[in-house]
Chain A
């Protein structure tokens, strides 16, 4: 595997289900990100992990719970979601160094909440 991988690619879940999204980066980067992408809206940064420490949590509802067990893996645990949470969830990684932060993205998980 190369780059950033995400599983599953597609997920349909009911509002009472619990599921998890997985992201793995094979680039040796020190930061990982979860974004939400909705149609015709900017990418919304949800969580940032820098050196495995969560450094950003942009007012994300508690029904989304991130986990970063090591610098290569990132999870997003989902429970009691709402239909408006249906979106493309993108994971990204970067090597944060000084004044440059090019981010590398995975293919995303297309989530549908019924």
Chain B
């Protein structure tokens, strides 16, 4: 079957670094997405990984290990505006997205 898991909530301090993990199980895999969703707003695209390794985009980086069924989103130099939910989703063999429940990230001053 298919399964995807991420922590429900994390807390971090402004200016610090936080890593949000995502693990998945599936027989068909075509890439992994990370989205950011502020409260009451639409999810917005952050990153896409299809090959193993680290993709860096400014303060945000995303890592994928296909053999381990594991990804993480790394946020550096945290700002208060980074307080949001972070959703991971993998693309299955039918190219549909299978979503995790999201990780609510709370940033404290």
Query: Contact residues of A with B, CB < 8 Å?
Result: 4, 40-43, 45, 48, 56, 90, 96, 99-108, 110
**Most chain B CB neighbours (cut-off 10 Å) among A42, A96, A99, A106:** A42
A101 touches B44 (CB 8 A): no
- B97 interface residue (CB < 8 Å to A): yes
Query: Contact between A107 and B95 (Cβ–Cβ < 8 Å)?
Result: no
Closest to B91 in A: A101
- Whether the Cβ atoms of A105 and B42 lie closer than 8 Å is yes
Count of A-B residue pairs with CB < 8 Å: 49
Instruction: Report whether B30 and A99 are in contact in the complex, using a CB–CB cutoff of 8 Å.
Output: yes
Which of A42, A101, A102, A105 interacts with B101 by CB under 8 Å? A42
Residues of B close to A43: CB separation below 8 A: 43, 87, 89, 97, 99
Interchain CB contact under 8 A, B42 and A106: yes
Looking at the assembled complex, report how far the CB atom of B27 sits from the nearest CB atom of chain A, in whole angstroms: 17
